[in-house]
Structure 1
Amino acid sequence: MFYYLNGTVAEILPGLAVIDCGGVGYACATTTATLSSLKKGEREKLYTYFHVAENAFGLYGFATQSELNSFKLLIGVSGVGPKAALAILSAGTPETLAMAVFTGDEKALTAAPGVGKKLAQRIILELKDKMAKETGGELDFSSGTPAKQVGFTSKASEAAQALAVLGYSSQEVSAALKGVDVDSLPLEEIIRQSLKKMVK
């Protein structure tokens, strides 16, 4: 329905940004990262998701497509609603979510208010399964170490698998990793720079 909103930031409230588009104020629930990037009175763009539930609906807005993609992945996990998804993304970033799923780091997810150990385990399990299906089962977590991809260093392979958690195809990931200094940068920074290139 809505792909993005491009307008003036009318209000910034806890967990909510109001974007004025042609005299209509759209209230978008959002993350702390998106809120911190906005300035009242300035023109901004938010990528949006319109969520329809049985007895309620809501508009969610994000400063980056990476956050939007992560939000959609999270609410696709059974038991994870928009509120929990926002809490997880407010406690971290798309990069830390990818890392948490890739490494099985439950603590990174339970740092979000209202996210317990069982829910964190479900998120990790379902997103890993989703990633494995989308990559044709080429990525193997059973040994605890990532399978190497042709032409990738071990760190680049790890970054590629973490990015796959966020729903990017192997072709998109390969293109994004080109030009990133995978030898000297830490893994999370490689993921961050790759994501930045993919959402330009």
Structure 2
Amino acid sequence: MISFVRGPVASLSLSHAVIDVNGVGMLVIATPKTLGRLHLGEETSLVTAMVVREDSMTLYGFAEEREREIFDILTSVSGIGPRLALAILSVLEPESIAAGVANGDGKAFTKVPGVGPKVAGRIVLELKGKLHPLSAPQTGAPAAAAPMEWKDQVVAAMTSLGWNERDANKAIEATLATEPELEEGGNVPAVLRATLRWLGQDSTRQKSGLR
């Protein structure tokens, strides 16, 4: 098993990075938050989880060991695959996930597209007693992303959750039109939450192809 990769970033996309490990390009799928910390040509180190299936071997990368721990625990829940586990980590912070489980707060997980009440309840039920928060979830405002990067990170989050780039950009622009103050701060988690909320509030958007 590959537990970490280290090397210069050879390429970046909205959903993954390729790390040059001694001349071998290792494709690593990661959350927008993790990818947003990487820069082409710069040395980086990511802890990884390898998912092996009959027809594939896939590496998932994380900036912190805690994220990989949460990922591994989430994928132990019946019906939660690696893609959905990564989607949960794209929307919720690791300690928010742990707090949701510890407090029996299934609603916290329904913020993630693809996680309905039944799946959220299963997460809480199966992980109760197995996952504990290390500290209280952060309540302060996260640092704003660089002006040229924050929108790309939101788009990356949306595509990792199943939307295509065109629809993600359309939803983000519509959200910013209704909440223009979000654009000034470039707060990636806040814009992502607002966009998901905008999508969820109007069921007619499903008919226009946004879901």
Corresponding residue of 1:121: 121
RMSD, matched Cα: 1.8
CA shift at 1:129, angstroms?
4.2
Per the alignment, in what secondary structure is the counterpart of residue 18 of structure 1? strand
Larger RCO of the pair (alpha carbons < 8 Å, separation 6+) = 2
Matched, 1:84 2:84: yes
How many residue pairs align between the two structures? 139
Conserved 8 A contact 2:106-2:120: yes
Cα distance in 2 for residues equivalent to 1:95 and 1:73:
13
> Following TM superposition, by how much is the alpha carbon of 1:31 offset from its aligned partner in structure 2, in angstroms?
1.0
Instruction: Give the letter for the 1:74 counterpart.
Output: L
Could you tell me which residue of structure 1 aligns to residue 7 of structure 2? 7
**Are 1:30 and 2:30 counterparts?**
yes
Residue 162 of structure 2 aligns with which residue? none
Aligned mates of 1:92, 1:40 — CA distance in 2: 26
What SS does the corresponding residue of 1:85 show, helix, strand or coil? helix
Residue 66 of structure 1 is matched in structure 2 by 66
Query: Equivalences for 1:22-171 in 2 at 5 Å?
Result: 22-131=22-131, 161-163=132-134
Which whole-Å CA distance do the structure 2 matches of 1:22 and 1:98 have between them?
A: 36
Residue aligned with 1:99, SS? helix
Inter-partner Cα distance in structure 2 for 1:107 and 1:40:
38
Q: Residue 137 of structure 2 corresponds to which residue in structure 1? A: 188
Partner of 1:19: 19
Which string of whole-angstrom CA distances, capped at 9 and with x for unpartnered residues, describes residues 90-139 of structure 1? 011111111111122223212122111111111111110435xxxxxxxx
The TM-score normalised by the length of structure 2 is 0.61
Match of 1:143 in 2: none
Structure 1 residue runs of 5 or longer lacking an equivalent are 132-160, 164-176, 178-186, 191-200
> Would the aligned equivalents of 2:62 and 2:68 in 1 still touch at CA under 8 Å?
yes
Deviation at 1:87, TM superposition (A): 0.3
Structure 2 contact 102–129 (Cα < 8 Å) conserved? no
1-side partners of 2:113 and 2:14: how far apart?
15
Match of 2:161 in 1: none
Q: Which runs of 4+ in 1 moved over 3 A?
A: none
Q: Which amino acid aligns with 1:112?
A: V
* Distance of 2:42 and 2:30 partners within structure 1: 17
CA–CA distance in structure 2, aligned partners of residues 105 and 15 of structure 1:
29
Cα distance in 2, alignment partners of residues 121 and 57 from structure 1: 30
- The code of the aligned residue for 1:75 comes to T
